[in-house]
Every structure is written in structure tokens, then in C-alpha cells.
């Protein structure tokens, strides 16, 4: 007789696997209709990024920011909210970090200040949605999406008018070498950012499970009524979760600026940032909104992103296919008991 919790974890894991398989199968169909070979595509997508040294390094590098944006969503869900504002919060964080490419300060201050300003801007952006929700009852789905777009245009206009790169029009100024995170492996994109990312993950885990604040967040997410009876302020919890979510997303922005060679900047149309928030959402959903799951899921999605270029080059499938499959996986995940439904149709007897 397995422990009740363990059995739950295993069922959850199985459900996720089913959803992933379902998403990939339908994605494969889409590829077939487009005239591509899905088997080759998936091979190119996963195998090199997980089996070669360079591939693994790139996988980890791509996993870095999405761990953080996944946390944004996860902390929201744990509080009973749907915070899909990681995109905007991250853009603002990246802005905060990249501003230091235009300022002259003592070398040793660059990294810490970039980190702090990125975090603060992210938190501010997050708390706007939090205040709107807690005090005006604004649905956070609509507000965070609006804020995402507003942040996008703010940062984009700053990119063009305030901090453009005099040498290269396709991006902003780069942060100076003193403001860059050291690379872990020369010649790859894997920087110390992954360490920061994992530290923040651990910190969030600690916060959620080992402190009073995290306890209140989880309690409200599970049962707002009993939480109220227990003296917890639901409004305050909403604000906490948006602040924490903004923090992690802001750090994601920092990592993409200070830890992303070769540009160490924000590129045109925020192209190096766009989509990372929603990747994080996928990671969090696949990872059951739990830090351990997020870590595993981030490697899965990270591998996909690392392999997407391979897939484009060798299987000729446009790399946007990755996002397509992600969307399908999420749709599959929204169906409760998908595992049960499919096993009933296939096997009949369990």
C-alpha cells in the first residue's frame, strides 16, 4: 500500500505524461499537414539537446529564465489567482538591468544594482495588478495581459529613444562587462544565471513551505473560507503573491540581460524576451505548480527550445512549432482526469 501522498504524485506525473504525449501527437499531425516529418522533427528537437554536451548546456541556459517566470505563475496559482503577467513584469525587470548599460558607476556595483533594480521594477509591475485585484476586484487575467502590452511598449520605446545602441540598431546598449554574469562554460550561452535561477527557485520553495507568509498563501489558495476563519487576510495574501511573482519575473529579466551572451541587451521588438513568460506558464502547469516539478519541466521545455533551432535547420520545421505543441499540452492539461478518460477508452478494465 503506497503512501497516499506518493500515490497522488505518481498519478499526477502520469497525467502530465499523457497530456504531453497527446500534445505531441496532435502537433505531429499539424506537421504532417504542413508537409513535414514529425518523427524527424521531434528527434531533432529533443535528442541533441539532451545528449550532447553543448546541447545540455544550451538546455540549461534556456531553462534559466523560464524557471523564474514559472514561479510567477505558480505562486499566483497557489494563492488562488491566475497571474499571467510574467511577460510584462519580466520586460520591466530587463529594462531595469539594461539601464545600467548607459550609466557609469564603480564596477563592483553593476551586478548587485542591476539585480536590485530589476527585482524592484518587476515587483512594482506585479503589484499594480495586485492592487487592482485586491482593492478594485479587477479580474487579474485581463489586467495582467493589459499590463503586459503596456510594459512591452514602454520598454520598446525606451529601447529606441532612451537607450539605443549607437553601434548596433537591432538592440539597446549592452551592459558593460562588469555588469555581466560570468559564463559557466566558454563558448556556450550557459552563464551563472542558472545558479541564480535555481537559488531563487529554492528560495521560493523555502518561502512557500517554511514561512508564515508562504503558509498563508497556500492556505488561501486551498480554502479561502477556512483561512478567513483562521484569521488570515485574503486581500493581503493576494498582494504578497503578486509581489513575489513580480520579483521572480524581474529577476528573469535580469538574467536575460546580464546573463545572455552575446548581446547582453534587449533586442528589437524585445525578441529575446517575448514568450518567456508564457513558456514559464507552460512549465508551471506541467510541473503542477511545485518547485520540483517546475525544475523538471523547465528542463523539458528548455530542451525543446534548445532543440528548436536544430529542428528548423535539419527537419525544416519552423521553430514556432514548439509553441504550438506547448499550447496543445496545456489544453490537454485542462481536462481533469484525462488519464482516466483515455485509459477507459483504450483498456476498459483497470
Where in 235-294 is the site for other proteins (CB under 8 A)? 275, 278, 281-282, 285
Would you give the binding string for other proteins spanning residues 148-167, x where CB under 8 A is met?
-xx--xx-xxx-xxx-----
DSSP summary character for residue 187:
T
Would you give the binding string for other proteins spanning residues 290-329, x where CB under 8 A is met?
---------------------------xx-xxxxxxxxxx
Out of 21, 109, 170, 228, name the contact with other proteins by CB under 8 A.
Answer: 228
Using CB atoms within 10 Å of the CB of residue 129, give its burial: 0 to 12 exposed, 13 to 18 middle, 19+ buried.
buried
- The distance of closest approach from Cβ of residue 336 to other proteins in the complex, given in angstroms and rounded to an integer, is 6
Residues between 25 and 54 with contacts to other proteins, criterion CB under 8 A = 30, 34-36
Rounded Cα gap, residues 273 and 275, in angstroms: 6
Residues between 167 and 226 with contacts to other proteins, criterion CB under 8 A = 210-213, 215-216, 218-219, 222-223, 225-226
Rounded Cα gap, residues 350 and 340, in angstroms: 9
Question: In this complex, which beta carbon is closest to other proteins, that of residue 68 or of residue 132?
Answer: 132
Residue 137 contacts other proteins per CB under 8 A: yes
Question: In this complex, which beta carbon is closest to other proteins, that of residue 182 or of residue 269?
Answer: 269
- Which of 187, 320, 324, 344 shows the shortest CA–CA distance to 262? 187
DSSP summary character for residue 181:
P
Question: In this complex, which beta carbon is closest to other proteins, that of residue 52 or of residue 139?
Answer: 139
Q: For residue 3, give every residue at least 6 positions away whose Cβ sits within 8 Å of its Cβ, in sequence order, or none.
A: none
- Which of 184, 202, 204, 206 shows the shortest CA–CA distance to 194? 184
Q: Cα torsion for 127, 251, 92, 187, to the nearest 10°?
A: -170
Out of 2, 136, 262, 350, name the contact with other proteins by CB under 8 A.
Answer: 136
Amino acid at each position: 500500500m503506497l503512501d497516499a501522498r506518493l500515490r497522488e504524485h505518481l498519478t499526477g506525473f502520469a497525467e502530465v505524461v499523457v497530456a504531453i504525449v497527446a500534445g505531441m501527437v496532435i502537433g505531429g499531425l499539424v506537421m504532417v499537414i504542413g508537409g513535414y516529418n514529425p518523427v524527424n522533427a521531434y528527434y531533432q528537437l529533443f535528442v541533441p539537446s539532451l545528449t550532447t554536451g553543448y546541447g545540455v548546456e544550451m538546455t540549461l541556459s534556456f531553462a534559466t529564465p523560464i524557471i523564474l517566470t514559472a514561479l510567477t505563475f505558480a505562486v499566483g496559482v497557489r494563492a488562488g489567482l491566475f497571474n499571467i503577467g510574467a511577460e510584462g513584469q519580466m520586460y520591466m525587470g530587463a529594462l531595469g538591468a539594461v539601464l545600467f548599460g548607459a550609466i557609469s558607476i564603480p564596477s563592483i556595483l553593476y551586478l548587485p544594482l542591476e539585480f536590485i533594480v530589476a527585482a524592484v521594477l518587476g515587483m512594482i509591475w506585479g503589484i499594480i495588478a495586485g492592487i487592482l485585484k485586491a482593492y478594485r476586484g479587477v479580474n487579474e487575467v485581463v489586467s495582467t495581459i493589459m499590463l503586459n502590452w503596456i510594459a512591452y511598449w514602454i520598454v520598446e520605446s525606451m529601447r529606441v529613444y532612451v537607450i539605443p545602441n549607437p553601434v548596433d540598431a537591432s538592440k539597446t546598449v549592452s551592459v558593460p562587462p562588469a555588469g555581466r554574469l560570468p559564463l559557466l562554460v566558454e563558448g556556450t550561452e550557459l552563464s551563472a544565471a542558472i545558479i541564480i535561477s535555481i537559488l531563487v527557485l529554492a528560495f521560493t520553495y523555502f518561502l512557500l513551505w517554511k514561512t508564515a507568509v508562504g503558509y498563508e498563501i497556500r492556505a488561501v489558495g486551498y480554502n479561502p473560507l477556512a483561512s478567513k476563519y483562521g484569521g488570515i487576510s485574503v486581500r493581503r495574501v493576494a498582494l504578497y503573491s503578486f509581489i513575489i511573482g513580480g520579483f521572480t519575473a524581474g529577476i528573469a529579466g535580469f538574467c536575460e540581460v546580464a546573463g545572455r551572451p552575446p548581446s547582453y541587451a534587449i533586442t528589437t521588438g524585445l525578441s529575446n524576451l517575448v514568450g518567456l513568460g508564457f513558456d514559464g506558464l507552460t512549465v508551471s502547469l506541467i510541473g503542477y505548480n511545485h518547485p520540483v516539478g517546475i525544475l523538471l519541466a523547465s528542463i523539458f521545455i528548455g530542451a525543446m527550445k534548445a532543440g528548436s533551432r536544430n529542428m528548423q535547420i535539419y527537419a525544416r520545421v519552423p521553430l514556432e512549432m514548439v509553441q504550438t505543441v506547448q499550447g496543445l499540452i496545456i489544453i490537454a492539461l485542462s481536462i481533469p482526469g484525462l488519464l482516466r478518460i483515455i485509459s477507459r477508452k483504450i483498456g476498459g478494465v483497470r
